[in-house]
Amino acid sequence: MSEQQLPRTADPMVVRTDFSSDAAWENLRLALSSPSEDDFLPNVELVSDRRFAGMTSAEAVTLLPADHQHPILVLADATALASEEFPLLVVDLREEHGRCLRVVASELWGIENNLSISNMDFREFAAAVDADGVHRGF
């Protein structure tokens, strides 16, 4: 792994890019480990490394390992960590490489689960965002 390269992970990454509040990060970790009403969880690995502070989605994509296989990359940026809903930034790595949408943490499982098994397409989730550009489920 180069000095700045993102790590290889078994599951899609949620990369922390905002370090202004450890409490917000801990609350996000709790939200991502809390099952949905139907007992679904996102299969993700959390990456909290200050080397990635302030990283944009465009920068993050360039830091992925060459053999990266996951359909998405998720950023826990300042916007995500400033809201109780945690509107995470999800980056498409399959269909429209680099296209982004926001999803509340409680609905990340739907995107991750469905894209990881190729059950749905990124564009289906992108088409189902609210007026503020955030996906909150179907």
pLDDT of 2 above 90 = no
The residue type found at 31 is A
pLDDT at 4 (0 to 100): 84
Please list, residue by residue across 49-80, b when 16 or more beta carbons sit within 10 angstroms of its beta carbon and e when fewer do: eeebeebebeebbebbeeebebbbbbbbbeeb
- In this prediction the pTM is 0.95
Q: 65 with 46: CB under 8 angstroms?
A: no
pLDDT tens readout for residues 27-36: 999 999 999 9
3 pLDDT band, cuts 50/70/90, is low
pLDDT tens readout for residues 36-83: 999 999 999 999 999 999 999 999 999 999 999 999 999 999 999 999
Distance CA 138, CA 40 (A): 15
Percent of the chain with pLDDT over 70: 98
Distance CA 129, CA 127 (A): 6
pLDDT tens readout for residues 82-95: 999 999 999 999 99
User: Facing residues of 47 across strands?
Assistant: 15
pLDDT tens readout for residues 8-24: 999 999 999 999 999 99
Extract the tokens encoding 132.
Answer: 């503020």
Round the average pLDDT of the chain to a whole number and report it. Answer: 95
